[in-house]
Amino acid sequence: MEKARISKLMAERGMCSRREADAYIERGWVRVDGVVVSELGSKAYPNQKITLDKQAQRRQGSRVTILLNKPVGYVSAQAERGYRPAVSLISARTLHNPSRSPFPFDPSHLRGLAPAGRLDIDSQGLLVLTQDGRIARQLIDENSDIEKEYLVRVEGRMAGNGLKLLNHGLSLDGQVLKPAHVEWQNDDQLRFVLQEGKKRQIRRMCELVGLKVVGLKRVRMGRIVLGDLPPGKWRYLREGERFI
pLDDT at residue 61 above 70?
no
pLDDT at residue 56 above 80?
no
Homologous superfamily of the 148-221 domain (CATH): Alpha-L RNA-binding motif (3.30.70.1560)
Cα–Cα distance measured from residue 83 to residue 60, given in angstroms and rounded to the nearest whole number? 32
pLDDT at 124: 98
Q: How confident is the prediction for the chain on average, in pLDDT?
A: 91
Homologous superfamily of the 4-61 domain (CATH): RNA-binding S4 domain (3.10.290.10)
The yes-or-no answer to whether 65-140+226-236 and 148-221 have a common fold is yes
What's the CATH fold of domain 65-140+226-236? Alpha-Beta Plaits (3.30.70)
Between 56 and 7, residue with greater pLDDT: 7
pLDDT in tens, 149-203: 999 999 999 988 999 999 999 999 999 999 999 999 999 999 999 999 888 999 9
Where exactly are the structural domains of the chain? 4-61, 65-140+226-236, 148-221
Residues 6+ apart with CB under 8 A from 195: 144, 145, 146, 147, 148, 178, 180
* Range with the largest mean pLDDT of 50-54, 97-101, 108-112: 97-101
Q: Considering 33, 53, 106, 120, which one is annotated as catalytic?
A: 120
- Tell me the whole-structure pTM to 2 decimals: 0.80
Identify whether 122 is a catalytic site residue.
Answer: no
In contact, 50 and 74? CB cutoff 8 Å? no
In contact, 34 and 204? CB cutoff 8 Å? no
Please give, one letter per residue, the 3-state secondary structure of 138-186.
Answer: HHHCCCCCCCEEEEEEEEECCCCCHHHHHHCCCEECCEECCCCEEEEEE
Cα–Cα distance measured from residue 38 to residue 168, given in angstroms and rounded to the nearest whole number? 47
